[in-house]
Chain A
Amino acid sequence: MKKRTILKDTVFTMLILCIAFVVSLVIMQTFDLYTTIPAIFTLAVFLISRYTESYVYGVIGSLVGMFAVNFAFTFPYFKFNFIIVENLVSAIVMLIISIMTSVLTTELKRQERIRVETEKEKMRANLLRAISHDLRTPLTTIYGSSSAMVENAKDLSKEQMVELAAGISQDSQWLIGMVENLLSVTKIDSGDMKLIKTPVVLEELIDSVLVRFKKRYPKQEVQIEIPDEFINIPMDAVLMTQVIVNMLENAVQHAVGMETLILRVSTEGENAIFEIIDDGCGIPKEKMDRIFTGYFETGNLPADNQKRNMGIGLSVCASIIKAHEGDIIVENLKEGGCCFRFTLKMEEMLDEQ
């Protein structure tokens, strides 16, 4: 990676300098204009600084340019001469201008990078704040209930004990889901997006999804529609299972009045299309735009509301799918309810069958 950019930048620098040299030669031969030539080399240095990674190339470019101008395009032609005062001065001026341009453009690029980094940092801080806020509610239950059990063990009836423990169990399960999501986000966000994709059989993926989903929502039927043929999709299986479970869960929690929940997979060209369809209440327009990025908003909602999980779950889905180079959209259906749809690239069918 690093080596490659060095090679690329070196080639680019040499190419630009060669072009500048040829253009200067042509101008000198045809129009006899010597005064424009330093300007052409300055432009070359500017271009080099703008499009290479390090300021080193710009400085080298300006040095080469200065010598080239002195050597080829000032009297005596095709001979170095720094004794004539005019040549010396113009060479130094050109060198200074080129170096300053180079340093300036590099500085500009650095600032841009810092800006992007700060933006990311801000998003991360927002996410963290939203989550810490969300974590408080279940932690309150767990801490409160368990300390009640420890301190008042004698006075509590068996039923009360079980009730408190059930609350603890329920809220810990919610916490587990949240931590899974956080782990996934950090896995993706940790810079290079190095997902380890292994080919996963569609049927096995759907099976694992359903096993996990049924554990939490044993009563919710899911209608499965998948193609008969053998489909293999390269993916991070743990993350993708989580995406689909998150989406099904999201439907159960937010699609008010839902009667059927469909998980459908179809193929189109080299893509597998996953659809999670419900016939619930649909998604209000004002939430639609930010549905995949809206986790910042949860901070303003009351923490004890049932919908706390929504923003984070869906934004995690979106970033996982993006990391798989897939697309995700959501739309309200005419007949009511909504459809989440995402695509993933299938493995090319190479040999055997």
Chain B
Amino acid sequence: MNSNKYKVLIIEDEGNIRHFVKTILATNGYQVVEAKTAAEGKMAFMSHSPDAVILDLGLPDGDGMDFLRLIRLDFSTPIIVLSARTDEKDKVAALDAGANDYITKPFGTAELQARVRAALRIHQQNMNRSLGGNKNFQVGDLIIDYDTRHVLIKGEDIKLTQTEYNIVALLAAHAGKVMTYSEIIKEIWKWSDAGSVKKLQVNMANIRKKMGIRPGDNQYIINELGVGYRMNVDME
């Protein structure tokens, strides 16, 4: 059993789910704090100041969304939302309210671990960056050189337009987090209209083409259908 010193708070009312999530994380060296209700969750958050939170949206004493908004007022701690498969609408709402990621129930060990790792890594990177290091972004064979605004794959320069570069750089800046269509549009074009999503989709299609990404073999930018895009950080 290795220890990695990260502390994760689980807020979930369903005992069995909480238990297996705890087991998985604990055996991978995380310290785990549990809470059954939103109220307990708030207390645990304040007293333990965890490095990441796993939050179920349907809690007995209130909506998980309220908890999410409350925490986001003061903290940037990564929050991963657990959602039962319903509509994309719920996912988009949670992401737009500040969740870093969501996992759809039912989920397996591998998926849970990958998401937690990704959330922690992004958080760490952002902290480093804000401390002054404006380093290049790198994942797998993909390198983004922020200074010269160049994107390289396997050392080869990918010729992107301004807009395309901005989109890739934005996804990289939030790597691991799902960026919803509306978040990206707001950042890139500042305003949105009926054709904005399509404009974004066309740009993404061009980016994929230039990067030589084939369907099913999509290593760098992951499609979240009907929700948005995510830069992968967890290359196997």
Q: Which residues of A contact B (CB under 8 A)?
A: 169, 172, 176, 180, 183, 196, 198-201, 203-211, 214, 222, 224, 226, 230, 232, 237-238, 241, 351-352
Contact = CB atoms under 8 A, between A and B. Distances in A.
Contacts of B225: 200, 204-205, 208, 237-238, 241
A23 to B, nearest CB: 51
A352 B195 contact: yes
Contact of B226 (A203, A230, A237): A237
Given A200-B225, A201-B205, A230-B205, A224 B87 contact: no
Contact of A351 (B195, B204, B215, B218): B195
A242 to B, nearest CB: 11
Given A203-B205, A207-B223, A237 B88 contact: yes
Q: Which of A208, A214, A222, A352 has its CB near the most chain B CB atoms (within 10 A)? A: A208
B197 interface: yes
B159 interface: no
A211 B218 contact: yes
B231 to A, nearest CB: 15
Given A209-B216, A237-B88, 6 more contacts: A199-B201, A232-B201, A237-B226, A238-B226, A351-B195, A352-B198
Contact of B223 (A169, A204, A214, A238): A204
Interface in B125-154: none
Interface of B: 85, 87-88, 106, 108, 195, 197-199, 201-202, 204-205, 208, 214-218, 222-223, 225-226
Nearest to B89: A196
Contacts of A204: 201, 204, 223, 225
A199 B85 contact: no
A99 B216 CA distance: 66
A237 B226 CA distance: 7
A157 B33 CA distance: 32
Nearest to B86: A183
B87 to A, nearest CB: 7
Given A198-B226, A237-B88, A207 B202 contact: no
23 contacts: A169-B108, A198-B88, A199-B197, A199-B198, A201-B204, A203-B208, A204-B225, A207-B216, A207-B223, A208-B225, A210-B215, A210-B217, A211-B216, A211-B218, A211-B222, A230-B205, A237-B88, A237-B225, A237-B226, A238-B88, A238-B225, A241-B225, A351-B195
A125 B145 CA distance: 60
B106 A172 contact: yes
Contacts, number: 62
Contacts of B226: 198, 200, 237-238
A237 B181 CA distance: 15
Nearest to A206: B215
Contact of A196 (B85, B87, B108, B217): B87
Contact of A208 (B87, B108, B198, B223): B223
Contacts of B205: 201, 203, 230
Contact of A230 (B85, B202, B223): B202
Q: Which of A196, A200, A201 has its CB near the most chain B CB atoms (within 10 A)? A: A201
A210 B216 contact: yes
Contacts of A230: 201-202, 205
A110 B202 CA distance: 51
The list of the 9 closest CB pairs from A to B, nearest first, reads: A210-B216, A237-B225, A207-B215, A204-B223, A206-B215, A237-B226, A201-B201, A207-B218, A230-B205
Contacts of A352: 195, 198-199
Contacts of A180: 85
A226 B216 CA distance: 13
B121 to A, nearest CB: 21
B216 A206 contact: yes
A205 B224 CA distance: 9
Contacts of A208: 223, 225
Nearest to A236: B226
Nearest to B227: A237
B192 to A, nearest CB: 15
A317 to B, nearest CB: 18
A246 to B, nearest CB: 16
Nearest to A229: B205
Contacts of B201: 199, 201, 204, 230, 232
A211 B224 CA distance: 11
A198 B197 CA distance: 10
A123 B8 CA distance: 48
Contacts of B214: 224
